[in-house]
Amino acid sequence: MATTSLSVNGRTVSVTIEDPDTPLLYILRNELGLHGPRFGCGLGQCGACTVHIDGTAVRSCVTPLSTVSGHIVTLEGLGTGTQPHPLQTAFIEEQAVQCGYCINGMIMQSADLLARNPKPSEQEVKSELASNLCRCGTHLRIVRAVMRAAAGS
């Protein structure tokens, strides 16, 4: 048993866990009730579990808690229903969702991109999302949504 302090979505929280190898994903989902990040593969291949640590998109399913330092932001912390992030607004405007399971990763990865490069080309968006998988085939709308968010920023 160990108690660790984490900075999540601007708040300091303490979690008690038995295994420091536990990937961050399970802490966020099961201990902190944050469902933005999702389990897709557990292998860092699909991107559904993406969160930000100090502003950088990381795959929380392969990030052991013991290696985490810095400020964690999940989709819940990126924006809310009343104060959405421009990407969240743009995804709604473009109706850029089919099932929506991958969308957490699409938004979190794109938010990282827009913070570094506020006016990316379509090509740059596609290459940023190269390791984010969507099975429903929503890609065209996702790219349009990211471009819309960028245009509005």
Partner 1 sequence: MNKMIDRRTLLKASGALIVAFSLPLDHIAAKMDAGAKTVSADRVDGFLAIAPDGQVTAYSGKVDLGTGVRTALTQIVAEELDVPINRVTIIEGDTALTPDQGTTSGSFSIQNGGMQLRRAAATARQALLRRAAARLECDISTLSIRDGVVTAASGSHLPIGDLADGSTLALDIEKAAPEKAPVEYTIVGKSVRRLDISDKVNASFTFMQDFKLPDMLHGRVVRPAGFGAKLVSYDESSIAGIPGIVKVVRINNFLGIVAKSEWSAIKAAQQLKVTWSTWQGLPEQSKIWEHVRSTPIVRDDVTSRIGGSRGALDAAPRKLEATYDFAIHTHGSIGPSCAVASFADGNLTCWTASQATHDLRKQLAAMLTVGGEKVRCIYVEGAGCYGRNGHEDAAADAALLARAVGKPVRVQWMRADEHGWDPKGPPTLLDMRAGIDPAGNVVAWESELFVPDGAAGLVPLTGADLAGLDSLGKLSPGGVLNDLAIPYAIPNVTTTAHRLQSTPLRPAWIRSPGRLQNTFANESFLDEIAAAIGTDPLDIRLQHLNDARGKELLERLARRSKWRERPKPDRNADVVTGRGLAYVKYELVRTYVGVVAEVEVNRKTGALAVKRFYVAHDCGQVINPNGLRNQIEGCIVQTMSRTLKEEVTFDRSMVTSLDWASYPILSFAEIPDIVIDLIDRVEEAPWGAGEATCAVVPSAIGGAVFEATGVRLHSVPFTPAKVLAALRAA
Q: Which residue ranges make up the site for partner 1 (CB under 8 A)?
A: 17-19, 21-23, 26, 29-30, 34-36, 38-43, 45-46, 48, 74-76, 79-81, 84, 88, 91-92, 95, 97-104, 107, 125-127, 129-143
Compute the least distance from the CB of residue 38 to partner 1, in Å. Answer: 6
Comparing CB distances to partner 1, the nearer of 7 and 84 is 84
Compute the least distance from the CB of residue 10 to partner 1, in Å. Answer: 15
Compute the least distance from the CB of residue 74 to partner 1, in Å. Answer: 7
Comparing CB distances to partner 1, the nearer of 116 and 135 is 135
How would DSSP label each residue in the chain? -EEEEEEETTEEEEEEES-TTSBHHHIIIIIS---SS--S-SSSSS-TTEEEETTEEEEGGG-BGGG--SEEE-HHHH--SSS--HHHHHHHHTT--SS-TTHHHHHHHHHHHHHH-SS--HHHHHHHTTT---SS--HHHHHHHHHHHHHH-
Comparing CB distances to partner 1, the nearer of 58 and 110 is 110
Compute the least distance from the CB of residue 70 to partner 1, in Å. Answer: 20
Comparing CB distances to partner 1, the nearer of 92 and 115 is 92
